[in-house]
Amino acid sequence: MPHVLTSTNPATGEEVWSGETGDAAAEVSAARAAWPAWAAHSNAFRIEALRRFANVVRGKESEFAELIAREAGKPLWEARTEVGAVVNKVQISIEAYAERTPMRKMEAALGNRIAVRHKPHGVLAVLGPYNFPAHLPNGHIVPALIAGNAIVFKPSEKTPATGEFLVRCFHEAGIPEGAVRLLIGGPDEGRALAGQPGIDGLLFTGSARAGSSLHKQFADTPQKILALELGGNNPLVVWDATDIEAAAVIAVQSAYLTAGQRCTAARRLIVEDGKHRELLDVIGKLVDRLIVDQPFADPQPFMGPVIDNAAADHVQEQWLNLMMKGGKPLRRLDRSFEDRPYLTPAMIDVTDAKDRPDEEIFGPVLQVIRVKDFDAAIDEANNTRFGLAASLVGGTPAMYDKYWANVRAGVINWNKPTNGAPSNAPFGGIGLSGNHRPSAFYAADYCAYPVTSVEADRARATIGEGMRNPNLQED
């Protein structure tokens, strides 16, 4: 039975959107019916439709950004950058499709040809997250549509209004309503969508726990594509940094952008024991200056609240757990308003903590770990089941080469934050951070499958061995 789903502004508690939950089977059926006509269009036709979509979003930039800011609680400046990423994704996806899934023809012996082309999977389900409720699902939807797939998109139950707005932009651009379907709902609707026999695959961005559940759910359907973009317990190593101020800024950006609600956020700051105090002092002074406020405040805040009170409660529980295991707070995690999910940027030294949990704390918490030498720093960077992002700040080119060669992650940066990966390059992780289906520029890879053909203008065939001579009589 449908029920009413409501989203609220995490900064104020005011209602942003309300609507009934949908029916997964009905939405998949509608997409299934529309898919053949969408797939039958030429690639040029579909690309032109997506260019119109980019123009529609561009024309609604202010309205879209304000909605994201209200529903997700992120500062307006950051919401604007997200809308810009939605627009830019179209051209990047067009280029990626041409580079990653081109049609190729090769000459073979006896006048034969070998052709490699790509086909869409069919109907793909997309499950979106709340931290980038437009950009991240759009990063799946756009390349999938270009490839010729139809989409059933279920946004996070915490940001349904943003998901609805995004789908409306596709439809206003002339992309058929059947080719992009919207499923409103929570975890139950998500599970129902993932279990529909009418989908040919699922593209997911979210937590490692949810990704693991989907992996198990899809274990008996190897014929369906499953692309998982999950979280990380990401290390930021600062070593022999010549510019402490710059290193501190990179650490703050890595840990606290989007209130720490980025899968690429730095969760662990690894430093050389005995040479760490100046760096931590400068980070602490920067943290004390960060503005935490509602999305439309003036001056604009560095970060807003986390998505809701339940998320804030969970981060606080994880913080207390670190303290109980022996962590020493360097900057406390405080709740500015008891009834609202504002959290202050926090830092805790967990070097001597016992049984430190290897988990993603999806909020503004940076754990400091002191080690004796650079080899120990690399070992600590790899001391996780995750493998999404990692960064080295400082060091020599030789040290970065060693770091790059030995750290297990899908994104490895030097003198740059752990977050903010470019969209014109592949993005994904290993371990609990994904299933080797990188997105961004490589999303084209999981949106279509290659078909190899050997072709000739007319049939020629002989059997050269293993045949009896027709002119010889048997005894």
C-alpha pair distances (Å), 337 with each of 11, 251, 293, 310, 343: 10, 26, 11, 14, 9
Q: Active-site residue among 71, 78, 82, 229? A: 229
* Radius of gyration over every alpha carbon of the chain, rounded to an integer in angstroms: 25
Q: Determine the Cα–Cα distance for residues 421 and 208; give it in Å rounded to an integer.
A: 19
Q: 201-205 and 123-127: which strand pairing? A: parallel
The torsion region of residue 440 among left (phi > 0), alpha (psi -120 to 50) and beta comes to: left
First CA to last CA distance, the chain: 79
Q: Active-site residue among 263, 272, 360, 447? A: 263
Residue 78 among the catalytic residues: no
Bridge partners (DSSP) listed for residue 120: 448
Q: 365-371 and 346-349: which strand pairing? A: parallel
Q: 201-205 and 266-272: which strand pairing? A: unpaired
Q: Determine the Cα–Cα distance for residues 96 and 221; give it in Å rounded to an integer.
A: 28
Residue 229 among the catalytic residues: yes
Catalytic positions: 229, 263
